[in-house]
Amino acid sequence: MRILDRNIIKYKFSFLLSLLLLLSGEAFSEQQRVSLRWKPSQGAEYYLIELSEDREFLRIHHFYKTKNFRYEFNSQDSKFYVRVVGINVDGGRGVSSPIISLADKFAAAPKVKVERPSTVVASSEELRISLGDPKTSGPSTNSPGSPNSQKQVPVSTYYRVNGGEWQSYDGSISLSQEGWNEVEFYSEDILGNKETPKKTKYLKDTTAPQVRLIGEKKGQSGLIEIKSGAELTLQATEEGSGIEEITINLAARDGSGAEVNLTLSGEEAKKPIKISSSGIDGLSILRWEANDKAGNYIQSEIPLLIDAKHPVCVFAPTEGKLREDGIYYLKENGLIAIRCEDPGTGSGLSKLEYKIGNGPIQSYQAPIGFNTGIHTVTVYTSDRVGNQAEFKIKVNAIKPDWQKTGSELQEK
């Protein structure tokens, strides 16, 4: 007992429970389902969902084991009380969640006509379902005049999964197969009265939704690089129970600029999700969290380089200078060098071209020389994600003509 107390003290897991009303049932039938969700507890390797017929939990009737943070109950569990307890890697139990009456929740849950012939079951390595108490379920001998009238006769319940061998039911059924499972069951009393087998379907879903960024490639930096303002497209897929909710966040790492937050569910979560990067610049993080209706949960993030700035160019005459009139004056044999750089958080220079006057556009390779006279130079540059810039300068290339005119030396 002391060891258990120490484990409880050492591994105190806290829970915050919420209940959702979800729809399920046989095709076009009316049924109820209640969903229990809790926040993940640090240190919990998995969770036990324990059910009892009494609020004090003097006896555990049956339990479900799951690694997820959500579980859905069907009407066979409606009479029980439920609590959740985290189990650590060494098997130590944490502090139990508050106790909830499923009877109260089912009483408030509406019956809705639905199409899907299923009962969604939360994922678990040892998934178990309950058909009720095998000692009290099944037929009774209550024919008029019978000495056993209105009395429950001891029964045995049998089941099989997906057409397998019939097995004796002891309070819960283990479902090991991923996907749809058909469960057949019947009860037989000691007098040989045997009911017609009943069927139900369960969906075991242990696979979390898959989310991927589509249509983007890594750039020179080793990160996915996009132009600020461009749209990113995320695609979420879920082949099992269906996506419950997906939350997406995109923001610059330094917290500056714009931020995108999206939460989608239902049909909207199935479509390609468009995310604008307008107003975001620099190293950014795209994060998402998604969970399906069986409680499978995934979270992930991708670093992105979002480039909002075009390259910047400077011009340097090798033999000459820039006058106050904004014209570069070159001496004989003078050249103009062009240096362009993308900002430090940019995607890198992709193109640097120029033309002189109305001449052809050329790729810049080395400093440019000019004939004598005034010229207009247009420079075109762009980075790897498509940010473009255009710069224009004027150059006056002068050939000195030395003439002696008295004491003055003139330069033309």
Percent of the chain at pLDDT > 90 equals 36
Let me know: does 199 contact 240? Beta carbons within 8 Å: no
Average pLDDT across the chain, whole number = 79
What number is the average pLDDT over the span 118-141?
52
What number is the average pLDDT over the span 232-253?
90
- pLDDT tens string 171-228: 778 787 888 888 888 888 888 888 888 888 888 888 889 999 998 888 888 899 999 9
Residue 116 has pLDDT above 70, yes or no: no
- CA torsion 263-268-270-276 (nearest 10°) is -60
Residue 344 has pLDDT above 50, yes or no: yes
CATH 2.60.40 fits 34-108, yes or no: yes
- pLDDT tens string 43-77: 888 889 999 999 999 888 888 888 778 777 877 78
Full strand arrangement of the beta sheet holding 62-66: 62-66, 46-52, 81-87, 100-101
Residue 365 has pLDDT above 90, yes or no: yes
The reported pLDDT for the residue numbered 164 is 92
- pLDDT tens string 328-338: 999 878 899 99
User: Do the strands 335-341 and 312-317 form a parallel or antiparallel pair, or are they unpaired?
Assistant: antiparallel
Residue 128 has pLDDT above 70, yes or no: no
The reported pLDDT for the residue numbered 403 is 55
Class of domain 312-398: mainly beta
Q: Provide the CA 84 distance to its chain's centre, in angstroms.
A: 25
Residue 11 has pLDDT above 50, yes or no: no
Q: What pLDDT band is residue 240 in, cutting at 50, 70 and 90?
A: confident
What number is the average pLDDT over the span 241-251?
90
pTM recorded for the entire structure: 0.60
Q: What pLDDT band is residue 28 in, cutting at 50, 70 and 90?
A: very low
Q: What pLDDT band is residue 261 in, cutting at 50, 70 and 90?
A: very high
Residue 3 has pLDDT above 80, yes or no: no
> Would 210-307 and 312-398 be classified into the same CATH topology?
yes
What number is the average pLDDT over the span 24-52?
72
Residue 84 has pLDDT above 50, yes or no: yes
Q: CA-CA distances (angstroms) from residue 68 to 46, 210, 363?
A: 7, 16, 59
Residue 19 has pLDDT above 90, yes or no: no
Q: What pLDDT band is residue 135 in, cutting at 50, 70 and 90?
A: low
Query: Reduced to 3 states, what is the DSSP secondary structure of residue 223?
Result: coil
Which residue's entry shows tokens 């556009």? 361
d(CA 376, CA 396): 9
What number is the average pLDDT over the span 118-136?
55
- Going from N- to C-terminal start, the domains of the chain cover 34-108, 114-123+153-204, 210-307, 312-398
What backbone torsions phi and psi does residue 3 show, to the nearest 5 degrees?
-65, -45
Q: What pLDDT band is residue 129 in, cutting at 50, 70 and 90?
A: low
For the domain covering 210-307, report its CATH number. Answer: 2.60.40.1220
